[in-house]
Each structure stands twice: as structure tokens, then as C-alpha cells.
Amino acid sequence: MQLHQFIHNSQAAFEAANLVYGHGTTNARDEAIWLVLWRLDLPLDIDINEPQYAERELTADEVLSVGTLIEERITTRRPAAYLTQQAWLQGVSFYIDERAIVPRSFIAEALAYGHIDDWLPALPKRVLDLCTGNASLAILSALAYPDAHVDAADIDELALEVAAINVTQHALTARISLHTSDGLAHVPGDYDLVVCNPPYVNQTSMQALPAEYLAEPALALAGGLDGMDFIRPMMAAMPAVLNDGGALVLEIGFEREHFERAFPNLNPIWLPTSAGDDLVLLLTKDMFNTHPPVLQEPTTTT
């Protein structure tokens, strides 16, 4: 069978199985291309429409081996990144396994496109990646700010094991320090920039999660009744660890309504992302000083 036919069949099988995407791809075709090319050890950025690839005949062994992987994606519903143990963010490759959530933070875009820098008096020298998971944002921060030292903190020791693998693979052990910390409780401070992609999925959404997302650590996703359980105390503690001129960049996904209900007096800057302009917010230390967060407790999940 030719490669294009195998990819077509895999896409059709994914569509028939109603798989859910969002861990590196957004649709059945891209997911099929990713897994087939990966298993065949072909570069992921080739143009599969080019005849030299499209018409490549798969050997019987290859058909068996790629077919097994496609079947595994369908039967286990594990995200493709867990099957390949590799995830990509802004063109940077990261090791990943089930000990940590598959990296996909939109803060990666803000770092890559320099959207944060306009709000800082100078490029940051001290950065914290709070809720670091596999350390992808810590590594992208270190790459974006070559003079910065980055602290990367997470409460989950298993996630930090994955983080350590990535920091070593990217040869950044001298510039990134890993910390076990519940929120800001055990981070060294003080920071010119804090990036944070916390657990923020509200209870109603958690109860409706598809299997692919249930394969990830619940600790990485669940944010309580209104998604703000982690964010409330973190916001209260944040000004104490921010240097003058510093800023917090916080991802809240599609929870803007809950965020604004929890912090009615804040007026953050919303940074643009490819999925919308109200998923990632920025608050400077000055904004925290002018309007200290006034917390509203959750009353509803709607």
C-alpha cells in the first residue's frame, strides 16, 4: 500500500472512532499524518503530497507496525503525544509521558512573538514558570530570554521528573532550577516575570472531559467549582514575589467569565493568541499595587 493511501485509511478510521484532538493536532488527518510519519521515522514536516512520499510503498512490516500504532490510538484513546513520547511547541521538541500533561500552552506564543516584552521595562533576568509540568514554558522562557535564570515549580513530583528530563535534554540545567512547591509557597522569588498555566478547568467541564483528556493527570486540569481554586490564593500571594516593573502572565483558557467574576476589580491586559484574545492575560506589579485583587468566592459553575 502507498503512503497516501495508508494515511487516508488511518484518517477514516480515526473519524469513524470519533477520536478527540487538541494535544498537538486539531483534526483526524493531521493526527494520522503525525503518527504514520513518526512510526516510519520520516520528518514530520515533509510534504506528503509530493510523489516521492505519497507514492512510497510501505513494506508488509511497516504496514503491520504503523497499523498497530493507529489501532492503539483508537483503542486506548491516549493522546498521540503519549504514544510518541514527544510534543512540539513553537517548533521546539519536548519529551512527554503520562506523568505530566501534554504541553500546549498559549503562553508559548506570547513568549515566541514577544507579546510580553512590551509590558516590561527590560528583558527579564529572573523568571518563574509556576505549574511547570514538563517544563516546556520554563525552557521556552530560557530560550526567549538568554540572560535569565528560570525557576520552574510544580506540586507534582512525577511531573517534575519529566521536567528534569527536558531540562537536561535541552542542556539548560545551569539556567533552570526545579522546585517542588504548592503554588508560591516554596519558590525562591523575586521575579521580573512569572508565567503560569495553572489547572483551571471548572467542575462542569471536568465532568464532561473526553477520554483523551482523562489520560492526563487530573491535578493538571481540575480547578474546582469555577476553575479558580488554584488561581485565587496564587493571585493573593503574587505581588510579594514580583519585582517592581515585573509582570504575571496567566493562562485561563476559556474561563474568562469565571476569572472576571472571581476578580471583579482587575482590568488585565489580554494578550493575542491563535485561539482567541482572551485566553492569556497579563498583570503588571503596578496593576497589582493599584488594584489589589479582591476575591469573590464561587457561587455557580455557569
Binding-site ranges for ligand SAM (CB under 6 A): 100-101, 103, 105, 131-133, 136-137, 154-156, 159, 181-183, 197-199, 219-220, 230
**Least distance CB 216 / ligand SAM (angstroms):** 9
Q: Which is nearer to ligand SAM, 183 or 268 (CB)?
A: 183
Q: Which is nearer to ligand SAM, 215 or 219 (CB)?
A: 219
In the complex, the smallest distance separating the C-beta of residue 52 from ligand SAM, rounded to whole angstroms, is: 36
CB 141 within 8 A of CB 168: no
Cα–Cα distance measured from residue 280 to residue 252, given in angstroms and rounded to the nearest whole number:
6
Q: With respect to ligand SAM, which residue has the nearer C-beta, 58 or 231? A: 231
Residue 89 beta carbon to ligand SAM: minimum distance, rounded to whole angstroms: 8
In angstroms, what is the minimal distance from the CB of 251 to ligand SAM? 7
Burial of 277 (C-beta count, 10 Å sphere; 0-12/13-18/19+): exposed
d(CA 195, CA 128): 6
Nearest distance from C-beta of residue 164 to ligand SAM, angstroms: 13
Least Å distance, CB 273 to ligand SAM, is 13
Q: Which is nearer to ligand SAM, 14 or 78 (CB)?
A: 78
Query: Hey, how many other C-beta atoms are within 10 angstroms of the C-beta on 197?
Result: 26
φ/ψ bin of 131: left (φ > 0), alpha (ψ from -120 to 50), beta (otherwise): left
Which residue number, 134 or 284, has a Cβ lying nearer to ligand SAM?
134
In the bound state with ligand SAM, the residue whose beta carbon lies nearer, of 8 and 21, is 21
- CB-based closest residue to ligand SAM: 133
Which residue in this structure is represented by grid cell 515585573?
A: 246
How far is C-alpha 298 from the geometric centre of its chain's CA atoms?
25
8 Å CB contact between 199 and 219: yes
Q: Residue 97: exposed, middle, or buried by beta-carbon count in 10 A (0-12, 13-18, 19+)?
A: middle
Shortest CB 141 distance to ligand SAM, Å = 11
Nearest Cα to 241, choosing from 285, 199, 197, 283? 285
Rank residues 136 and 205 by Cβ distance to ligand SAM and give the closer one: 136
